[in-house]
């Protein structure tokens, strides 16, 4: 689909904001204390004041009340503009489950938090349990009007700066592995919760989360007790599309930075952008990005038209292809820029680092291929 005039104006406003408030890689380094943090409270606060956060979430709970296409515009342009608001997409993903299954109070809390620039997290994966979430072992045992939590979660994005974690626990061990699972809205400040950084190639994002006798109210259940697996399976199309949208922004930024460098870098008496061997690689990459981008927005439009629950195949295709195009764009950008692509000064090495994880999280691309294959065979 083509964006209409209003959405093009929205994209242009975000682009202008990022140019002014972030200012490229030098500004990004300053806002993140040289990548010590992944989220800038200053940028989140300014975006919240503009009404951009939670743009696709229902207005009755404090969101912007627009469509998911508008959210894709926001995610794409903020990542293209290097805005350090990584935790927002994690909270936006969590919001999909709260909006489908949560109480009115849970919905209001989560959406208003996101719209105000506060972070929300999701705690699903465990050591040895990533793609196979049915094997979750963290216990959530009912004790009167409370649940007692014991166990470990890992790779939990933004938990150290989040208000709550949407946490998957095993309440009942008597049945098949996909039964007896419960989702809980767990305040991150709950006594009995310890967080430790998982050190990665990027700023602090991931955490190990340990529950030792942590207690939350029974009112923290999201949906029905024991139905956590069913609740998680709904809304996955939107989660994949969130990843696809910001990956398109990453891809576009990598391509634009590579092209800008190629235009000003001379070799053998001419800009390297004049060499056919390099120009054609850029042409191929630009085509990959634009065709993937068009598909992402087509699926986003289908979500706005109410077809979300029937888009497992298409959302898997979008997530898989967008994350792989973003990775290709960053790696090609580094190669096209030569030594400069490897230097921190030019920012392409940052692009490479941030392009490596998306094909893994939100359901690995191997899992996405299996979903697609099942729709065929």
How does DSSP assign 89-145, residue by residue? HHHHHHHHHHHHHS-HHHHHHHHHHHHTT-EEEEE--BTTBSS-GGG---EEEEETT
**Best CA proximity match to 38, nearest among 46, 29, 47, 25:** 29
From the list 194, 105, 73, 179, the residue with the least C-alpha distance to 135 is: 179
DSSP H or E stretch at residue 53: none
Q: Is 143 exposed, middle or buried (0-12, 13-18, 19+ CB in 10 A)?
A: exposed
Enter the pTM of the model: 0.95
Q: What span, in angstroms and rounded, lies between the C-alpha atoms of 175 and 184?
A: 20
Of 146, 132, 152, nearest to 208 (Cα)? 152
Reference 70, options 8, 125, 22; nearest CA is 8
Determine whether 176 is exposed, middle or buried from the number of CB atoms within 10 Å of its CB (0-12, 13-18, 19+).
Answer: exposed
Residue 235, pLDDT score: 76
Say if CB 181 and CB 171 are below 8 A apart.
yes
Fold assignment, 5-117: Butyryl-Coa Dehydrogenase, subunit A; domain 1 (1.10.540)
DSSP label at residue 64: -
Half-sphere exposure of 197 (CA within 13 A, CB side): 11
Contact between 241 and 71 under an 8 Å Cβ cutoff? The reply is: no
- Distance, in Å, from the CA atom of 172 to the CA atom of 204, rounded to the nearest integer, reads 34
Q: What is the pLDDT along the chain (377 residues), one digit of tens a residue?
A: 789 999 999 999 999 999 999 999 999 999 999 999 999 999 999 999 999 999 999 999 999 999 999 999 999 999 999 999 999 999 999 999 999 999 999 999 999 999 999 999 999 999 988 788 888 999 999 999 999 999 999 999 999 999 999 999 999 998 888 899 999 999 999 999 999 999 999 899 999 999 999 999 999 999 999 999 999 887 788 999 999 999 999 999 999 999 999 999 999 999 999 999 999 999 999 999 999 999 999 999 999 999 988 899 999 999 999 999 999 999 999 999 999 999 999 999 999 999 999 999 889 999 999 999 999 99
pLDDT for 233: 80
Assess if CATH 3.10.20.30 describes domain 235-374. Answer: no
Distance CA 202, CA 225 (A): 36
DSSP 195: E
Location of structure tokens 């904001």 = 17
How high is the pLDDT of residue 220?
Answer: 98
Cα dihedral 295→300→304→306 (10° resolution): 70
* Coil, strand or helix at 167: strand
Contacts of 342-348 with C-beta under 8 Å, sequence gap 24+, read 346/25, 346/257, 346/261, 347/24, 347/25, 347/257, 348/254, 348/257, 348/258
User: One fold for both 5-117 and 235-374?
Assistant: no
The confidence score (pLDDT) of residue 223 equals 96
Cα–Cα separations (whole angstroms), residue 4 to 1, 90, 170: 9, 27, 46
Q: From CA 95, how far away is CA 238, in angstroms rounded?
A: 10
Question: For the chain, what percentages of helix, strand and coil (3-state, to nearest 5) are there?
Answer: 55, 15, 30
Task: Specify the CATH number for 122-226; select among 1.10.3720.10, 2.40.110.10, 2.60.120.380, 3.90.230.10.
Answer: 2.40.110.10
Domain ranges of the chain: 5-117, 122-226, 235-374
Cβ-Cβ contacts under 8 Å for 22 (sequence gap 6 or more): 28, 31, 43, 81, 82, 83, 84
């Amino acid at each position: 689909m083509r964006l209409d005039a209003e959405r093009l104006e929205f994209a242009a406003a975000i682009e202008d904001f990022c140019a002014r408030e972030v200012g490229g890689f030098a500004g990004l380094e300053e806002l993140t204390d040289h990548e010590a943090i992944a989220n800038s409270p200053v940028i989140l606060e300014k975006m919240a004041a503009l009404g951009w956060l939670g743009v696709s979430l229902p207005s009755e709970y404090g969101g912007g009340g627009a469509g998911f296409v508008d959210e894709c515009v926001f995610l794409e342009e903020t990542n293209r503009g290097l805005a350090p608001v990584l935790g927002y997409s994690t909270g936006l993903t969590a919001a999909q489950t709260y909006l489908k299954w949560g109480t009115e109070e849970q919905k209001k809390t989560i959406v208003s938090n996101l719209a105000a620039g506060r972070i929300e997290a999701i705690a699903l994966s465990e050591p040895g349990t990533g793609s196979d979430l049915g094997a979750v072992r963290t216990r959530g045992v009912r004790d009167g009007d409370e649940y007692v939590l014991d166990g470990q979660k890992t790779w939990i994005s933004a938990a150290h700066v989040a208000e709550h974690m949407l946490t998957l626990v095993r309440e009942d061990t008597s049945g098949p592995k996909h039964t007896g699972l419960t989702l809980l809205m767990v305040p991150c400040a709950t006594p009995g919760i310890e967080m430790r950084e998982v050190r990665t190639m990027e700023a602090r994002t991931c955490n190990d989360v340990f529950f030792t006798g942590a207690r939350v109210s029974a009112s923290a259940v999201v949906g029905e007790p024991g139905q956590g697996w069913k609740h998680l399976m709904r809304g996955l199309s939107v989660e994949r599309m969130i990843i696809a949208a910001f990956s398109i922004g990453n891809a576009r930024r990598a391509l634009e930075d590579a092209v800008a460098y190629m235009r000003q870098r001379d070799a053998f008496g001419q800009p390297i952008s004049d060499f056919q061997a390099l120009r054609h690689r850029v042409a191929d990459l630009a085509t990959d990005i634009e065709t993937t981008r068009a598909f992402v927005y087509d699926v986003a439009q289908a979500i706005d038209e109410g077809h979300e629950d029937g888009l497992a195949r298409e959302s898997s295709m979008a997530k898989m292809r967008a994350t792989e195009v973003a990775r290709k764009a960053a790696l090609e950008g580094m190669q096209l820029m030569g030594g400069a692509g490897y230097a921190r000064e030019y920012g392409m090495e940052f692009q490479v680092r941030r392009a490596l994880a998306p094909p893994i999280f939100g359901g690995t691309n191997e899992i996405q291929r299996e979903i697609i294959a099942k729709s065929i065979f």
